[in-house]
Every structure is written in structure tokens, then in C-alpha cells.
Amino acid sequence: MDQVRAAAGGQLALPSVPRVVRRLISQLRDPGASVSDVVDELEQEPQLAARTLRIANSPYYCGRRSLASLKDAVAIVGTDTLRTLVISGGLEAVFVAVPGVNLRQFWLDATLTAKAARSLARLAGADAEAAFLAGLLHNVGHLILCQAFAGTLPARLAGARSVRGAELAALERAACGMDHAQVGAAWLDELGFPASVVDAVAHHLDAGPAAGTLAPLLALATQVAAAIEAGDNAQRALLKLDAGLLAAASLVAENLDARFGPQYEQIAAGGEP
């Protein structure tokens, strides 16, 4: 992070994160950690607790049952899922207004990417919750850059609202000297995310064979999200997926139509795969 701050000439101001979110992030490094010991602390963050409970009460997680408390949510949705819900909700909440960014659209794209990453990770035998978090936060560096360079970057991007991925990164580097993948990865590393998540965010724009499994999965998930937003059906979307990334992620293209096609349609319809 120091290198990124130095490159920014001291302009980067990182948003603060609730203590309970930091504690849960630290638990991601310990598979045996229990989330129950932070439930009481989470209840001291009313907005975050309410958001978490609302999501946990959705039909996908609890069916027709009604969860009255976070302790009920731990029992029903499980430790890993609840931890992911709290972390994602806590990090989303720190970005209230960002110059030049439609946050509703930003988080819609991020959520599509996260759901696709989680589904693809399950097919590849990778960590599904880590993939979800990487997908949700893969562009968070862009929010930080737009806040830090509010006087220049939003204006530079004014005519390129639909630009994403490598093209967006090139514009960011031209305006700021760094891109969203670098900044986002540095921030997640500072917050204590596992190396797998940090590396995936850092390398999702150049996810070669040496980038590990999660980076190519994340890169594929961004392609899936773009296909959904373009209105592609599953068959057309799967044909667009990069063959090299599929191989790097240990996914067999021939099997994806049957294995991932139905999940694609669920994600596109706004559901949970």
C-alpha cells in the first residue's frame, strides 16, 4: 500500500471500516474460526446488522422461515456465508457517494460478478466464498481512485461510462498513474484479506497461468457479468468465454453448457445460483 500511496503523491485517502468487519476479515485466514463470538459486537452496528439480517431472511437463504436474530442467522445460513454477508455489506456501506460513479450500477455489476465467480469456483473446486468476495470487490479500487482524484478522473471518464476492465485500467493509469486492480488489491491487503483474494483482484486483468486459480475465475466472472448486462443468453455467453482462462481455471468448456448454463440464467434473472 505504501508504494501505491507514494505513486499517488499522498492523494489516496482510504475509507475507514467498522471494527467488526475488520475482525471478520481476519477470520478469513482461519478456517476454524467461529463467527458467533462477534455477533454481539455486530449488534452494536445497527445498520449493518439490519442489512445482514435482511439478506439472511431472503428466500434463497432461509426459505419460508423467519430469522429473528443474527444468532438464528448463524445457525441457518452457516458461519462462512454469514461472515461473507457482513464483510460485503460493511465494505459497500463505506462508499456513500463517489464523484462520477453511479453506485447503484457499480454494485449491480459487482454483485453479478460475485455470483458468477462463486458459481464458477464451485465447479472448479475452488473456495466459493473467497471467489464471491473477490468478485464483489474486484473494482473497488476504482471507487478509491475517483475519490482521491475527484478533480481529474471523473472528468476524464465522462465520455466513457461503459468502459470496463483493461480499457478502464488504461484510462486510470493515464490520469492517476495507477489502476483499480493495483489500488483495490493494496487496500484489501491492508485490511487483512487472504492472499488468494488479494492476488485475484491484483491479477484479474492479466490472469495468466501463473496467477493462481482464483484470478482466472474472477476474469471469467467479469466476462459473464458483461454478457448478462448485454442481454446474452447462456449459450451465447459461454461461447464468449476466453478458452485460455477456462484452462487456467481448470474448467472444461465442453461441460459448461450443462453445468453452468442453468446457473447463468438464474444469475441473469436476479436470483442466487
Q: Residue 269 gets which letter from DSSP?
A: T
pTM score, whole prediction: 0.87
What are the pLDDT digits (tens) for 64-94? 677 788 888 877 777 788 888 888 888 888 8
If you write DSSP's letter for every residue of 88-137 in order, what string do you get?
HHHHHHT-S--TT--HHHHHHHHHHHHHHHHHHHHHHTS-HHHHHHHHHH
Q: Note the pLDDT of residue 65.
A: 73
Of 161, 139, 98, 160, the residue nearest 221 (C-alpha): 139
Q: Where are the beta strands (DSSP E) in 198-262?
A: none
Give per-residue pLDDT as tens, 112-123.
999 999 999 999
Domains in the chain, start-ordered, CATH in brackets? 11-94 (no CATH), 97-273 (1.10.3210.10)
Instruction: Note the pLDDT tens digit of each residue in 43-57.
Output: 778 888 888 888 778
pLDDT at 243: 92
